[in-house]
Amino acid sequence: MLDLTWYTTLEKPALTPPVWVFAPAWIFLYITIFAALLLFTVTRTRKSKIMGYTYFILQVILNILWTPSFFILNNPALALIDIIALDIFVLLNIIEFYKISKFSGLLLIPYLLWLLFATYLNAGILILN
């Protein structure tokens, strides 16, 4: 379990939701991310899926790295760099998934929207602190 003591002491941007919102949001997002990957995987096509899988793996790695960057290293600047790269790779992932399966690509849009909101929160915390 993460120690949120440091986080609770930070000045936060105006639209910061209560802490309890994050768990249900991520559960929903992980379900849609998995569904998008599954749909992409099972869709038959003559087109190459390599870039879709590549972007998916890269965005998963960046997603995993954000939490330790922010909460363990207590480094909002490093976390911001990570999440901006994550935003870019999720967008690229959406484009590649959409080429193979439109619905698969569309399933990742809530994830991108949440990440853009999280980018705002991360940048706000960096600026305010």
Cβ contact 45:36 at 8 Å: no
pLDDT at residue number 126: 98
Closest Cα partner for 86 from 107, 109, 55? 55
Give the pLDDT band (50/70/90) at residue 3: confident
**Separation CA 56–CA 39 (nearest Å):** 13
For residue 53, the SS3 value is helix
Q: What are the pLDDT digits (tens) for 84-129? A: 999 999 999 999 999 999 999 999 999 999 999 999 999 999 999 9
Q: What are the pLDDT digits (tens) for 43-81? A: 999 999 999 999 999 999 999 999 999 999 999 999 999
* pTM for the full predicted model: 0.94
pLDDT at residue number 1: 64
**Separation CA 35–CA 126 (nearest Å):** 33
Give the pLDDT band (50/70/90) at residue 4: confident
**Neighbouring residues of 111: CB distance < 8 A, sequence distance ≥ 6:** 29, 32, 33, 90
Q: How far is residue 65 from each of residues 79, 81, 83, 92, 93, measured CA to CA in Å?
A: 8, 11, 9, 19, 18
Read off the tokens for 42: 């099972």
